[in-house]
Amino acid sequence: MKARLLAAAFGLLVASAAHAVTEIHFWHAMDGALGDELNALAQKFNASQSEFKVVPQLKGDYDTVLTELRNTALQGKDRPEIVQIVDVATQNAMMEKRFFRPVHQVMADAGERLDAKAYAPTVAIFYSDKGNLFSLPFNISTPVVFYNKDAFKNAGLDFNAPLKTWYNVQEALLAVQEKQTAKCGLTASYPAWTMLENVLAWHNEEFATRNNGYDGLNADLTFNTFLAMRHWSLMSSWVKAQIFSYSGRRNEGQQRFTSGECAMLVASSGSYANIARDARFRWGVMPMPYYDDFKGAPAHTSTGGASLFVVNGKTPAEYKGVAKFLAFLSRPEVQAEWSAKTGYLPLSRAAVEVKRKNGFYESNPGADIALEQVIGKTPIPASHARGVRLGNYQIIRAIIDEELELVWSNKKPPKAGLDDAVKRGNEQLRRFERMHKQ
């Protein structure tokens, strides 16, 4: 009798082990409506099979995710299998090959197919090392302009007519101010990205030498151009005229727009989901404005966002689950749904076709603006559209933000701010070179 009970108990243990679910922990920085959509993606994957369970964990903003990851490494604590890393930290993360396992290797070892060529070249190249995906592009966006149609209508403006140039925007903002249809005219999220990097890319100007950093570590920053000085000067004049309002270095401007306080917002196309959820007025999307006296403008905007890195030191079973989840995320229909619900770019031609065939762009006017901006109309170096890949770029962007704040608070002339940002930024590039001499 005792033997039979022991045998039965052993059988239950074996059965339990055979049906044990391997958890895949996924640290991310997406809150609000974006976090809801990410959780829905994980639940959909979990429901599609019974071997693995993806567990998304919100860790705070992008900086907090990286800080938490570093702390777990230093303290010897358990780390996640997947971590979302912001684009500006990509170059640094790729140099930490002992800390991360390349995505293409994880997929190949698990027998899962992932072809970098299936992704848009401007996206794939940014997250690739020697032609192979090092991390998986995930939430990729480009800046667009969101505007309050009700505030425009009440100011006597035709809210269906796009504002092509920055001077067209100025005229609209003055009308909004005169009619007092919004307390604030224009604000911007991530201003170093939206009001410098992308202003240059949109006008076919480089940000740094060495193909914007793609051709080697010994690049130099070159963004202190006449165009950049002109744009920062114009924004400074708008601050004084109280038609442009600085909201902060990250996404603080989004809440000011969705509350109805500001009539216009320059922000990531990935703001779409939260704006759709929170705004209580009619709103629209228009392309980034440009200066029409610059030859070739508008050209391309550049992409930003984040990708998924796979952490080293995990078991074969865990890597198998990671590979299956990443393969799931790469499916055209999954990409198309994620793009439609969030505003992030569809990352492959196949995903774009899914959205076209299901009529998404026809039923959502303006939803294709971000995609059209990245595709562009004028042939230019691909590096301008695929963004900036430089070492220590998180620090450099913070430097740009500091100098920009000094300019927009009238404490430093635009040229001096840009020159100082280039000088301080180049010091960071030289420091990164010394750390990673080959």
pLDDT band at 349 (very low <50, low <70, confident <90, very high): confident
Mean pLDDT in residue range 305-328 = 96
Task: List the end-to-end C-alpha distance of the chain, in Å, as a whole number.
Answer: 69
Which residue did the predictor score with more confidence, 117 or 410?
A: 410
Strand partners, 208: 221
Buried/exposed 250-274: b ≥16 CB within 10 Å, e otherwise: ebebbbbbbebbbbbbbbbbbbbbb
Q: At what angle do helices 166-179 and 226-241 cross, to 10 degrees?
A: 0
Mean pLDDT of all residues in the chain? 91
Residue 66 has pLDDT above 80, yes or no: yes
Residue 379 has pLDDT above 80, yes or no: no
Residue 111 has pLDDT above 90, yes or no: yes
Mean pLDDT in residue range 383-404 = 88
pLDDT on residue 407: 97
Residue 157 has pLDDT above 60, yes or no: yes
Distance CA 71, CA 148 (A): 42
Buried/exposed 388-397: b ≥16 CB within 10 Å, e otherwise: bbbbbbbbbb
Residue 14 has pLDDT above 50, yes or no: no
pLDDT in tens, 256-297: 999 999 999 999 999 998 999 999 999 999 999 999 999 889
pLDDT band at 4 (very low <50, low <70, confident <90, very high): low
Mean pLDDT in residue range 192-198 = 96
Q: What is the biggest distance separating any 2 CA atoms in the chain, rounded to whole angstroms?
A: 93
pLDDT on residue 7: 52
Mean pLDDT in residue range 403-414 = 96
Q: What angle do CA 145, 344, 307 make, to 5 degrees?
A: 125
Q: Is the Cβ–Cβ distance between 321 and 404 less than 8 Å?
A: no
3-state DSSP assignment of residue 307: strand
Helices (H) and strands (E) in the chain, counts: 22, 12
User: Does pTM top 0.85 for this prediction?
Assistant: yes
Residue 383 has pLDDT above 60, yes or no: no
The type of residue at 317 is A
Domains and CATH numbers, the chain: 2-141+304-358 (3.40.190.10), 143-301+380-435 (3.40.190.10)
pLDDT on residue 438: 58
Distance CA 43, CA 20 (A): 18
pLDDT on residue 77: 76
pLDDT on residue 131: 86
Q: Is the dihedral of CA 72, 78, 84, 85 positive or negative?
A: positive
Q: Is the Cβ–Cβ distance between 136 and 328 less than 8 Å?
A: no
pLDDT band at 374 (very low <50, low <70, confident <90, very high): confident
Residue 15 has pLDDT above 80, yes or no: no
Q: Is the Cβ–Cβ distance between 135 and 309 less than 8 Å?
A: yes
pLDDT on residue 2: 54
pLDDT on residue 16: 45
Buried/exposed 335-353: b ≥16 CB within 10 Å, e otherwise: bbbbbbbbbbbbbbebbbe
pLDDT in tens, 78-87: 899 999 999 9
The type of residue at 90 is T
> Could you tell me if residue 248 is left (phi over 0), alpha (psi between -120 and 50 degrees) or otherwise beta?
left
pLDDT on residue 70: 87
Contacts of 75 (CB under 8 A, 6+ apart): none
Which of these, 286, 263, 287, 279, lies nearest to 174 by C-alpha position?
263
Which of these, 312, 321, 326, 317, lies nearest to 93 by C-alpha position?
312
Pairing between β-strand 262-268 and β-strand 184-188 as defined by DSSP bridges:
parallel
Distance CA 36, CA 232 (A): 36
Out of 111-125, 201-215, 334-348, which region has the weakest mean confidence (pLDDT)? Answer: 111-125
